[in-house]
Structures are given as C-alpha cells and as structure tokens.
C-alpha cells in the first residue's frame, strides 16, 4: 500500500512542479532509500519528503548547488474526489 501511495505522490508532485516551473525542470526522482522526492529546477535542487505535514502544500528544501539552502512551500493542486 505504501508503494502505491508514494507513486501517487510522485505523480502529483511532478504535475504540480510542471505547472509552477515552465522551463528548466528536470526529472522528478523518487529516492525510496532516503524517503524523498528530488528534482532539479533551474540549477537548484528541490527536495521533498515522502511524508508531507500539510495536505494543501508541498513543503521542502531548495539547495543552490553545494551552498546554502532555503525552505520552500508550493501549493498543491486539489485532489479530485472519487465517488
């Protein structure tokens, strides 16, 4: 069950990042060992944990090369209700 959840989160994160970053978005990678999703965007590395504390936002860290980092927050697309 956890694998399906991580796959779904991976697809949702990739789609939301595509909407936010129109140019320069690299592949979104699911790193199961570290329990993170990682993407390259315009020379920065974006990292999001598998477990997200806020259902309305993607909370993560943005790394600039090998230097400083900063926290980032990206609004999540609403999940459609399946009835």
The predicted structure's pLDDT at residue 82: 59
Residue with tokens 């909407």: 19
pLDDT range class, residue 34, cuts 50, 70, 90: very high
Residue 14 predicted with pLDDT over 90: yes
- With beta carbons less than 8 A apart as the criterion, state whether 9 and 16 touch: no
Cα–Cα nearest to 28, from 42, 39, 18, 20: 39
- With beta carbons less than 8 A apart as the criterion, state whether 11 and 76 touch: no
User: Does pTM top 0.85 for this prediction?
Assistant: no
């Amino acid at each position: 069950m956890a694998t399906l959840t991580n796959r779904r989160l991976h697809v949702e994160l990739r789609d939301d990042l595509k909407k936010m970053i129109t140019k320069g978005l690299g592949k979104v990678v699911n790193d199961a060992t570290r329990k993170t999703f990682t993407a390259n965007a315009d020379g920065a590395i974006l990292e999001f944990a598998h477990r997200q504390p806020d259902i309305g936002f993607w909370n993560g860290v943005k790394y600039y090369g090998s230097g400083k980092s900063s926290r980032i927050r990206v609004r999540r697309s609403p999940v459609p209700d399946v009835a």
